[in-house]
Amino acid sequence: MSTVDEQEPIPEPSNSLPKFFKEDEVSQECRDITSSLPTETAWIVNNFYQYQGFWLGSRHLQALLRYQKHFQPQDSDILLVTMPKSGTTWLKAITFALVNRLRYVDHPQQHPLLNNNPHDLVPFIELKLYIDNQHPDITTFSSPRLFATHLPFVLLPTSVKDSATKIVYLCRNPKDTFVSLWHFSNKLRPAEKGTNSLEETFDKFCKGVCMYGPLWDHVLGYWKASLETPDKVIFLKYEEMKEQPTFHLRRLAEFLDCPFSEEEESNGLVDYISKLCSFDNLRNLEVNKSGILSTGVKTEVFFRRGEIGDWMNHLTADMVERIDQITEQKLHGSGLKF
C-alpha cells in the first residue's frame, strides 16, 4: 500500500468557480433557512449547511427547495442517483444509450454521446434545472424523461416517491469515492483558496461532512428503498458493473422495462452500448477532452482514472482502518457490504 508521501501530485485548483457554487446568488428564503442550520467549512466554497441530516451548499439547498415545491413527475420518468464521484458520468451515458437505442441503431455515427458530454444529455435536477429557475422549461424533454440528482432519498419530493418514476442508484466503495471526490473538489476549488490537504479532507469525509454526505446515510437510504420497493428502485454497485458490464446492462434494461430483444442480442447491441459507454471510450472523445459544460466546468475533470482500488495509491494504513471501521459500523445489519 502506498503512503501519502508516494501519492500522485495534488491536483491544481481552478481559476473560475462553477456557477452552482456561487453562494452570493441565493434567495432571501434560503438565507433565512441557512442562518439557523449547523455549518461547516466546505471543500470547494465557503460553507456546508446541514439540512435534515445531510450537508449541502446554499445554492444546492435553494435548488432543492424549488425542486420539492414545483417539480411534477411523470410515471415514465427515470431518475439517476449517485453520491458525487461514484460513477455518475458513466451511469448517465449507459442509461441514455440504453433508453434511446432504437433512435440511433441505424446511424451509430450520429449518436449524441459522440459529440455531447453525458452531463449535457442527462441534466442534474438541482445543479442544472432548478439552480437558477423556479420553473425550468422541461416540456421539450422526450419520454422517458431522464434526470439525475445527488440528493439523498429522504430529500426527494413526495410526488416523485409516490409516482411510478424509476430510480436507478449507483454506489461505489467509500474509499475510492473519497479519493475521487478529493481530486475533483481540488480541481473545482478556486486557485486563491489553495488546495485541500488529503488528511484534513479525509477527516471531514469520515465525519460525514462532504457534499450530500454522510456517504453511508446516503447509500443506506437507497439500499433500504430498493429492498422495500424493488420495482421502483434498483441498487447498483460500481465495482460489479465494471467487472460485468453487459450483465448489469441487461439487468438495467429489464428494470427499466426495455429489455433487449433476441434480435438486438444477436446483432451485438449489448456489446456496442457497453463499449460506447466505456470509461476509456468516453474519456478519449474530443468533447470530453476539451469541452466546457454550461455550468462552466471543463468536461475533462469528469475523467480521471475510473479504476477500482485507486485508494491504495493514496490512503495510509491508519486511514484505511478508520474508514473500514466506520463502514462496518454504519452498514451493520443492513445486508449491504462493499
Q: What is the DSSP letter of 190?
A: B
How far apart CA 318 and CA 324 sit, in angstroms, is 10
The sign of the CA dihedral 194, 197, 200, 202 is positive
Radius of gyration of the chain measured on its C-alpha atoms: 19
Q: Which long-range contacts (CB under 8 A, 24 or more apart) does 174-178 make?
A: 174/215, 174/216, 174/323, 174/326, 174/327, 174/338, 175/311, 175/315, 175/320, 175/323, 176/238, 176/307, 176/308, 176/309, 176/310, 176/311, 177/83, 177/85, 177/86, 177/215, 178/202, 178/205, 178/311, 178/323
- What whole-number distance in Å separates Cα of residue 118 and Cα of residue 157? 24
Cβ 149 vs Cβ 79: under 8 Å: yes
Cis peptide bond N-terminal to 144, omega within 30: yes
150 classed as catalytic = yes
Give the separation between CA 181 and CA 184, rounded to whole angstroms: 5
SS3 category, 157 = coil
Residue with cell 419530493: 157
Report whether 155 contacts 54 (CB < 8 A): yes
Helix, strand or coil for residue 252? helix
Please tell me which residue in 150, 183, 218, 314 is annotated as part of the active site: 150
**Cα diameter, the chain:** 59
Asked if residues 293 and 114 have their Cβ atoms less than 8 Å apart, the reply is: no
User: Does residue 96 contact residue 120 with C-beta atoms inside 8 Å?
Assistant: no
Q: What positions carry a catalytic annotation? A: 150
